[in-house]
Structure 1
Amino acid sequence: MRHYGIANPPDEKGRVTHTAVPRLYAEMVAQGRRLRLAGYEIYRFGGWELTAPGGKQLLDAFFTDLLARHEKPTL
């Protein structure tokens, strides 16, 4: 996975912002389409979801549901 923005130079306080680059986003979603056509399932997570409180529980629940969907035993 990659971010579809480029870093701007740091401001006077050293903060770095990013500018969206539509071309990079278009490449990312085109790759997603190719993977889906090849039979892959794609599940995307935002970094905030994973690092915020409850991130581990979110992943645990997701994989439990995913395994149940495909009728695989859970641990």
Structure 2
Amino acid sequence: MPNGEIAQIRKIRHQISAEFGHDVHKLAAYLREVEKELRQSGQFRFEAQSDSPATSKPNLPPDLSPDSQGPQCAQ
């Protein structure tokens, strides 16, 4: 992406952040309310979420997942 586009994206992100006093919790609450209104409108289809983002794990290969003991070497 050219630098002008990146600067424009950053400017817009800063403007959005400023609208909510640079408070991520206020922004998240607003986005949840917008989602609720869009769901109720029936105009859009939403995918079901099985896990909340706070409890979901990153999509890593099995040998790199946080629960593994590290990469397994073939012998």
Please give the TM-score of this superposition, normalised by the length of structure 1: 0.29
Q: Which has the larger radius of gyration?
A: 2
